[in-house]
Amino acid sequence: MRVRELLAPERTHFNVQGVSKKRLLDQAAQLVANSCSGLTEQQVFDALVARERLGSTGIGEGIAIPHCRLATCQGPVALLLQLEQPIDFESIDNKPVDLVFVLLVPENNPEQHLKTLSHLAALFNEAGYREQLRSARSAEELFKRATSSEEELQLAS
């Protein structure tokens, strides 16, 4: 799935204070629960933390893609956070994270989950895409760049 099919303006946040990985996951859970009916903050937080216990979702180059499957999730949902200051996310390259793309998917569609994660990893592996997001100066601009960049269109085709 393309970013534009997952993300919404109300789930795109700019200059987020991220004190620690755990606190950031808590903030993300709260933001998702506030914008998606049927999901509770505690349920999202617990699922994200459980996934992180399996291994960090920090994929390198300052990017983290925390993700989980939830029985109560009606469809794929994403949250994009650009952090005010990078935080330690135990990433594979040991670099701090400043862009976080949270992905929640229904429990009953693991194949779509894996395909979407693969697409996101490829997309965030593109230096141009990362730089477009990092140069945004507002949540609106961040959303626009995330959903309409040339790289997003080319990779998703």
Nearest in space to 101 (alpha carbons), one of 153, 129, 135, 66: 66
Structure tokens at 62: 């300052």
Q: Catalytic: 113?
A: no
Own/partner pairs for 132-138, CB < 8 Å, 24+ apart? Answer: 133/80, 133/82, 133/99, 134/82, 134/98, 134/99, 136/14, 136/82, 137/14, 138/14
CA-wise closest residue to 67 among 3, 75, 77: 77
* CA 58 distance to own-chain centroid: 10
Active centre residues (catalytic): 67
